Amino acid sequence: MIHIENTFIAYARHILGISEEATGRIAIRAITKGGSDRCFYRLTMPDGKSFLFMAYGRQQEENAYWAGIAAFLAGLGVSVPAVYGHDPELGFVLMEDLGDRDLWSYRHEPWEVRRDLYRKVLQRISPLHTFAEFSPGKGKRGEPANLPPRFPRTMKGYDRDLYRWEHDYFLEQFIRDVYRISLAEKEGAALRDELEALAGRLLAAGPALVHRDLQSQNIMICGGEPVFIDFQGLRRGSLFYDLGSLLCDPYVPLTEEERDDLLLYAYELLKLDLDWTFFRGSFYDGSAQRLMQALGAFGFLGLKKGKKAFLGHIPQGIENLCRMAAASGRLPQLLKLAERCNGVRLK
């Protein structure tokens, strides 16, 4: 392990132009928070300045897209960590150290404080949700004008297959493995039909770019401003999936009044050609879809990967799913299943 860490330090030295003699005075500390399969380390230089080092493997295809997506988001004006070095062959990234305070760490602050932070998050992420690909016009002397940042490589966008995969993930990793529930054939068929219709509504709500994991622990707060991380899963999808990730986050409970306040703020901020009733209904759908994915992940990470802390977030996730499925009015089978889980004490 020491040899591997020395390799990380040597890479950082090379990028930062630090002499080999200073190697012994560079401190390295592993950061183990979260469910990622990547490795993160904080490197503290002799002058006290710190950087974050990320090592990623080839297990997850999307990990290789992180640096390109970071450059794209920065070009859009979305706040992301500064990248100082990237070696795609080694899978090394040296980036800005954003500190330890994320949006989650403000969960006990007064609503006035949290509301302002959430509004800033919605403002800063909005260029992603309103991004439109276009053919640029011509500027002076025939040069292209108003060029958008170069679109990066991303994972395949949301389609019916990906929505179905998330449904299966939820039913297998969560309903089957966590709660040991087996659905009767008729019940399962009715649920499948309902979830197919849900996918259809999300596809019809209009395309956007989505972070795909826009929850409180993936939003760092630096100097009172949000900075986004863990965006390697970015792809084309429904903005309501991202809004559901943020406003129905199982890690940070929001009251109904708080959620409605932020949802209305998002509606007025984005200025989309959608009426409020449709926007709100689409939010309920997007939230239900996201919560199914999150609960599937909690089951997988908690049971298969041995990260038991994720199981502790299941009760809030199920409660949120019950509320969103009920508010939708178009997900009675999902609501019935979620209510069956809600209130059951996990062993």
Distance, in Å, from the CA atom of 87 to the CA atom of 210, rounded to the nearest integer, reads 26
Check residue 110 and report its DSSP letter: -
- Does pLDDT of 140 surpass 80? no
Express each pLDDT in 3-29 by its tens digit: 788 999 999 999 999 988 888 899 999
Q: Can you state the angle between helices 111-129 and 256-270, rounded to 10 degrees? A: 40
Could you tell me what percent of the chain has a pLDDT over 90? 86
- Confidence (pLDDT) at 147: 56
Judged on CB neighbours under 10 Å (0-12, 13-18, 19+), 21 is exposed
List the domain boundaries for the chain: 2-96, 103-130+156-341
Q: How confident is the model at residue 311 (pLDDT cuts 50, 70, 90)?
A: very high
- Read out DSSP for 324-347? HHHHHSS-HHHHHHHHHHTTPPP-
Angle at alpha carbon of residue 106, lines to 72 and 217, rounded to 5°: 40
The pLDDT value recorded for residue 165 is 98
Are 231 and 211 contacting, i.e. CB atoms less than 8 angstroms apart?
yes
The per-residue pLDDT for range 105-134, each reduced to its tens digit, is 999 999 999 999 999 999 999 999 999 764
Closest CA to 331 of 299, 287, 296, 295: 287
Cβ-based neighbour number of residue 50 at 10 Å: 14
Q: In whole angstroms, give the CA distance from residue 302 to residue 215.
A: 18
In one-letter notation, the amino acid at residue 185 is E
Was domain 2-96 assigned CATH 3.30.70.270? no
The full DSSP string for 37-62 is: SSEEEEEE-TTS-EEEEEE--SSSGG
Spatial distance between the Cα atoms of 228 and 219, rounded to a whole number of angstroms:
5
Q: What confidence score (pLDDT) does residue 141 get?
A: 42
Provide the whole-model pTM: 0.93
Q: Specify the CATH superfamily of domain 103-130+156-341.
A: Aminoglycoside phosphotransferase (APH), C-terminal lobe (3.90.1200.10)
